[in-house]
Structure 1
């Protein structure tokens, strides 16, 4: 247990590799992200499904210029992200979503690399994808080609694991030993990010006593979690909406 989010992230240095959980802005560790923003560290390399939206989630770190490099599978909801990338201020490694998940999982179980069919015959295999632009619009850094191998008559490409120095995740329920339960879409990347890091910090909405969570209901065992931060009711309920959709008036309805 850690007293608060500021104490939990205090030893994260500039240049750290951070795996950040969440799917869109569902299940993001928003309180820990705010604490990292306040810490003012820079040159971060972030591994996440996406990089938040403008002014929300990891988007706050982007706006402050704290992120140097992003490995993600989707970045389409953030105008500042696009601006920094096209201006050559941000390095971006786009990777297929399932491959990103497996790269994180592989890091968590000690597998250095794996073969997959995803990306075979595309620029993912061949290289040349623009990772970072120069200020004049030319490509300063591009993706390298990936090694391939044949198995049972089919071609596979080699993807490397994605180990992180720190992971920040958000759980719906947890105990002080770090046994965690996630809700719905929040379960997609939070457990994988937690597995991939040397030090994992979890913010928890509802803290329960050890033993209160049925072992069969634990989504992530405490062996992967190093620090637990308990959220206040206000912090737990403060959740953003990525895209608000409302039902318009239908003719004939009163």
Structure 2
């Protein structure tokens, strides 16, 4: 059942659909997220954040259904700061309305602030401003939903994200599919990279999702924080 629609700044529309007690968000014929499948969204945070120390500042690109945010809250200390950038205003409205039960207390956490704007702008405005950047703003490292997202995944965008990270920081990017060329481009931008495949539902019906974990050390040289690749992870 169609519950609501959301205009995407720059063009396009998202649809919120209910299936009994579950919800999904669609872009055309593409399912962007569903309340019954969230392992990889959680893993985006649980794989990237445990290594952070002190009073980390984390930027999450894409509010979605709140699964990455909830996992970040559980992974971070009370001194942390979590900034969530959401381009589509209606997504924030759904988080306090139709999808409120999924968010629980996430939006009331004093560590959390919501920026209703393009995550790209926050990245370029805050050099060395973040200890981690978690991106789940499209269906992969391209501009399917918004052509403006191409800026994030371009060679220039990858260098900008590296500049926005503090020494020892980590960039984590979610994708519905693997992309070997993107892995190479992350390395070319100066990151040490691990590509992790996430088993989404313990069946062979749905393909694995992919998360790239990328970091640089404090000297600006490539670190050895992550290996080259990892087998399928059940998050």
Normalised to the residue count of structure 2, the TM-score between the two structures is 0.40
Q: Which has the higher contact order (CA 8 A, sep 6+)?
A: 1
* Greater Cα radius of gyration, structure 1 or 2: 1
Normalised to the residue count of structure 1, the TM-score between the two structures is 0.38
